[in-house]
Amino acid sequence: MISQRIGFILLITLFILSGSITPVQAEQDNKPPQLVSQSVTPQVVAFKGGGAPGALTINLETNEPTRGYIKVIGNGVETKFHLSNEFKTDHHVKKAPWNSSESKPLPEGEYSLKLYLQDEALNQMHGYSLGTFQVADTQTSSSLIYDIMASPQPISPKYKQTEPLTTIKFNASRPAKAKVVIKRNKDGQTYFESGFFTVKDGTGEFEWNGRDNEGRIVPNGKYTITIKAKDLTYGDAPVESYSRDNFSVLAVENGDHDIPQDRLKEILTEHPLEQSTINRNDDQKNEISGTFTLHEDVNVTAWIENGANVHIKRLGTFSGKGKHSFAWDGTEFMRGSVIDGPYYVSYYIDEGPARGELHSDNELRVEGGIDVTVPKDAQVVKINTENPDFSAFYDQDYHGARKGERFPIIEYVEGRQAYKTLISEGAVGYIAPEHVDLLNVDSIPEKWGEATQKVTAYRGPNHGVKYGTFEKGKTFRILRHDGVYYRVELNTGEQVYIHENGMKEIEKPKETSTYVVKSGDVLWKIAQMYDVTVDQIVKENNLDPNDYLKIGQTLTIPTSKKPIPFNPDEKNGEYVVKSGDTLWKIASKLNTTIDQLIKLNQLDTNEYLMIGQTLKYPTSKTVHMVEGGDTLWKISQKYDVPLDNLIQINDLDPSEYLYYGQKLIIPQGKPVDGDYYTVQSGDTWWKIAKAHKTTVTMLLEANDATGDQVIYPGQQIVLP
């Protein structure tokens, strides 16, 4: 047996030696592969670019399929640029000046390129010179990804629409693997993230249909496009993020984030209620039941919500076509009784991935239980921020509040450090005090406080956002005492919080300031600068109004306001809003129109005027210099303007004398709005009211006057 095997092996050996059997291998031609063409560009590169290109582009063509690498030598470094692992005749590579052996950029200097190739017959090319290149040391780097933008936009993704709506384009300075990430600006949430794709030709494109990774249409708003990319020109490049400020923003408008209401009504039909009221005092009315029909196989969660559209109890989850029923006993999540008021059923419909909420038109009411009312003297707050910290039932975020919206305060809840407010009938909410301003400040009884030490003021009563510090002795007007904090009003009108340990309540402080008389000053001019009367300055300083002021003389001014230099040549005057003022009354006083006041001050007609608010009003450039013998009556006749307008615009006291050299602003023409009456000799408020079939009260209100106010012949008054 052994001899037979030996014989077989010898026989095979003889066949091989005789050439009858040839081993399977590539033909050995003993000729190394040859280059047909070569190019290496550019001559100067820098890692990540900047002042030079960021990568070498090497193109090689060989006479037969080859594979191999390029050795990079110079400046004490030796590393490799690898070609394809496959045998091929064309090699195209783009490489950054990167030392793959030590995982760091090549240092500045000159490098030589040596080519090493092998063909399929294992013939080799060793160290063929491809020339040299220079690595520059640039201080700046060239971004891998740049010029990110989406077009067209804005986009409006619609229900059941899935085709691409926009193309996101960007440029790549070097070969890269990239992915698209889309985040909503409002909350920073990532709504979409693509997979990685390769960008070789310098331009990347990605089409998007306005849906998230689950296939749901994204909410309306502005989104930032970020490209996450990995540089393929060197081995261990990290994945980095790239965006382009305002240029990589994509807007989504009028999209169907939620299933359209018409479609929801096709899916679900609600049936009328037999009973819609729960009365705590009637045992026969302690539950409300209802039914609805689903026309498609979807999942539905039914909720009870209050008048603020806040969910307070889940009624159940339902699925499948057919009729379904629910019942509610007037309780909330924790089985406690709800506040008296209106309630509604809402149906959250999920047809995957689209979702939407259908709000019932049937009003449910709860009566005879917990009644929440607002005090008659309740203070009102106005939201002062775009995203207020406002919670509703069981600390659910209440998203219905908008900047500028007003709510009455029920009480301050110290445990929450929040104002409890009434959102709507039967619905209360809790809002952070720093996110609202008290509106009816003038109706709050005046209380004053003084800092007993250096104090820190905060935006809210929680040591949260610091406003600033105030020295001992600083006085504040106290608006509220919320827990252990005083809510105070600063001179600027801002409202802040100071801990009660650093404050004591005091009598109203006397507000004064000092003024040093300069050349050309007269009492009237100084009074105008500080918005006070001449008589007030005279009494405060015990002056004789007929005496001249002396340069360098120090006067006590009965106000803490900063002086406003009086410039009678200005095109616009300024008026400080007083109690009871309306735009109509102010326009009448200042001989202008409501429209002019609105445009000049950029007013929102939905906002109330604030006492102390300064309004600009159009004035004439005409200024009259008081001369000997001048009276208000003579000046009003000379310029054909109502006497009362002249007094109002210049804030004059008719009982005081004019002064030589005093400058008076002359208003433009006669009043243009409303009905007016020119006072005649012997007229009284009562006579005028009777003659024009109105009441004295209405006449006084229309003119912002009091019954003891003297009227003058030639004065024009407003008729209600």
pLDDT at 23: 38
Among 8-12, 134-138, 160-164, whose mean pLDDT is lowest?
8-12
pLDDT at 311: 92
Query: What is the average pLDDT value for the chain, to the nearest integer?
Result: 83
Among 268-282, 521-535, 577-591, 696-710, whose mean pLDDT is lowest?
696-710
Give long-range contacts, CB 8 A cutoff, 24+ apart: 453-457. 453/502, 454/502, 455/498, 455/499, 455/502, 455/503, 456/498, 456/499, 456/502, 457/488, 457/490, 457/496, 457/497, 457/498
Q: Is the pLDDT higher at 24 or at 203?
A: 203
- How would residue 442 be classed by pLDDT, with cut points 50, 70 and 90? confident
Residue 326 to residue 469: CA distance in whole angstroms:
58
Give per-residue burial for 23-34: e unless 16+ CB within 10 Å, then b.
eeeeeeeeeebe
Distance separating the N- and C-terminal Cα atoms of the chain: 137
Q: Is the pLDDT higher at 404 or at 56?
A: 56
- How would residue 576 be classed by pLDDT, with cut points 50, 70 and 90? confident
State percent of the chain over pLDDT 70: 84
Give per-residue burial for 255-270: e unless 16+ CB within 10 Å, then b.
bbbbbeeebbeebbeb
| Chain position carrying tokens 């092996």 | 9
- How would residue 19 be classed by pLDDT, with cut points 50, 70 and 90? very low
DSSP 518: -
Domain 570-719 -> CATH class: alpha beta
Distance of CA 486 to the CA centre of its chain: 29
CATH number for the domain formed by residue range(s) 445-506: 2.30.30.40
- 519 by Cβ neighbours in 10 Å (0-12 / 13-18 / 19+) ranks as exposed
- How would residue 151 be classed by pLDDT, with cut points 50, 70 and 90? very high
State percent of the chain over pLDDT 90: 39
pLDDT tens digit string along 86-102?
999 999 988 999 998 88
- Domain spanning 145-252: CATH 2.10.210.10: no
CA-to-CA dists, residue 295 to 82, 323, 683, angstroms = 63, 9, 79
662: left (phi over 0), alpha (psi -120 to 50) or beta: beta
CATH T-level fold of 380-438: SH3 type barrels. (2.30.30)
pLDDT tens digit string along 192-201?
999 999 998 7
Q: Is the dihedral of CA 119, 122, 125, 127 positive or negative?
A: positive
Which span out of 134-148, 297-311, 435-449 was modeled with the highest average pLDDT?
297-311
Among 246-250, 374-378, 468-472, 549-553, whose mean pLDDT is lowest?
246-250
pLDDT at 17: 43
Cis peptide before 154 (omega within 30 of 0): yes
DSSP 234: S
- 44 by Cβ neighbours in 10 Å (0-12 / 13-18 / 19+) ranks as middle
What tokens were used for 115? Answer: 């080519």
Spatial CB neighbours of 3, under 8 Å, sequence gap ≥ 6: none
pLDDT tens digit string along 464-486?
788 889 899 888 889 999 989 99
The domain 261-367 is placed in CATH, from the list 3.40.50.720, 3.40.190.290, 3.40.50.150, 2.60.40.4070, at: 2.60.40.4070
Give long-range contacts, CB 8 A cutoff, 24+ apart: 667-670. 667/590, 667/591, 667/619, 667/620, 667/641, 668/591, 668/592, 668/618, 668/619, 668/620, 669/591, 669/640, 669/641, 670/591, 670/640, 670/641, 670/642, 670/716
CATH 2.30.30.40 domain residues, the chain: 445-506
Angle at 466 between CA 462 and CA 467, to 5 degrees: 120
Q: Are strands 623-625 and 663-665 parallel, antiparallel or unpaired?
A: antiparallel
Residue 663 to residue 631: CA distance in whole angstroms:
13
N residues, the chain: 720
Asked if residue 561 has pLDDT above 70, the reply is: no
CATH number for the domain formed by residue range(s) 35-135: 2.60.40
Among 10-14, 115-119, 374-378, whose mean pLDDT is lowest?
10-14
pLDDT at 656: 65
Asked whether 452 and 472 are in contact (CB, 8 A), the reply is: yes
- The phi and psi torsions of 698 (rounded to 5 degrees) equal -65, -40
Asked if residue 330 has pLDDT above 50, the reply is: yes
| Chain position carrying tokens 């992915």 | 179
CATH 3.10.350.10 domain residues, the chain: 570-719
Asked if residue 508 has pLDDT above 70, the reply is: yes
